[in-house]
Amino acid sequence: MKKIVQLALIFLFYYLGVQVKEWLGLPIPGSIIGLLLLLVFITLFKNLSVNAHADGASILIRNFTLFFIPTTVAIILYLDLFRTWNAISFVTVLVSTLLTIALTALAIERSVGKEEA
């Protein structure tokens, strides 16, 4: 039951990120906005355990490779489109990847800092 609640928390922030993207018409993916919202939530509620979502996240991480299947199929199906929009696609993927790495590093740094204190 604990893992279900933790997964629900993660999906709630994903959903909120998608809704914020739609409401504001931002060019940033909803999942990134959701990640930022989760980071803000964890930062604001310092009494919240760092591992409050760890078990639920571990389920997603163990099955992480499954999330790449739809992306790979889409790239194969729309290969001509990717060839046409080659540079734009590359920049978008690069910026999204760097932003995700930076936010993940920040979240881990804050998590480790809380546990050591």
Query: pLDDT tier at 87 (50, 70, 90 boundaries)?
Result: confident
Per-residue confidence (pLDDT) for residue 92, from 0 to 100? 86
Which pLDDT belongs to residue 99? 92
What is the model's pLDDT at position 116?
A: 55
Residue 117 has a pLDDT of 47
Q: What does the H/E/C string look like for the chain?
A: CHHHHHHHHHHHHHHHHHHHHHHHCCCCCHHHHHHHHHHHHHHHCCCCCHHHHHHHHHHHHHCHHHHHHHHHHHHHHCHHHHHHCHHHHHHHHHHHHHHHHHHHHHHHHHHHHHHHC
pLDDT digit string (tens) for 36-48? 998 888 888 776 6
pLDDT at site 48? 65
